[in-house]
Amino acid sequence: MLRRDELDAALVSLTEVLLTGRYDILDGIAIASRGEVYSVILAHRKPLAKAREIFCDPASLTSVNLLKILLAERGLKPAFPPLESYAAAREKDFVLLIGDRAIEFQRAAHPHDIFDLGAAWFELTHLPFVYAVWALRRGAASAALKQELRRAQQSGRQALDRIIATGTAFDENFRRDYFKRCLRFHLGAEEKRGMAVFCERLQAHGLGPVFPPQFAA
Q: How many angstroms separate the CA atoms of 30 and 26, rounded?
A: 9
Number of Cβ within a 10 Å radius of residue 141: 19
Whether 92 contacts 55, CB under 8 Å: yes
pLDDT at 208: 87
pLDDT at 109: 87
Distance of CA 63 to the CA centre of its chain: 5
* Biggest CA-to-CA distance, the chain: 52
pLDDT at 129: 98
Domains annotated for the chain, with CATH where assigned, are 9-34+127-216 (3.40.190.10), 40-125 (3.40.190.10)
pLDDT at 206: 95
pLDDT at 106: 95
Q: What DSSP character marks residue 2? A: T
The contacts of residue 36 (CB under 8 Å, 6+ apart) are: 116, 118, 119, 181, 182
pLDDT at 140: 83
pLDDT mean values, one per 10 residues, the chain (217 residues): 93 95 96 97 97 92 96 97 92 96 93 97 98 93 94 95 94 96 97 98 95 94
Give the predicted TM-score (pTM) of the model. 0.94
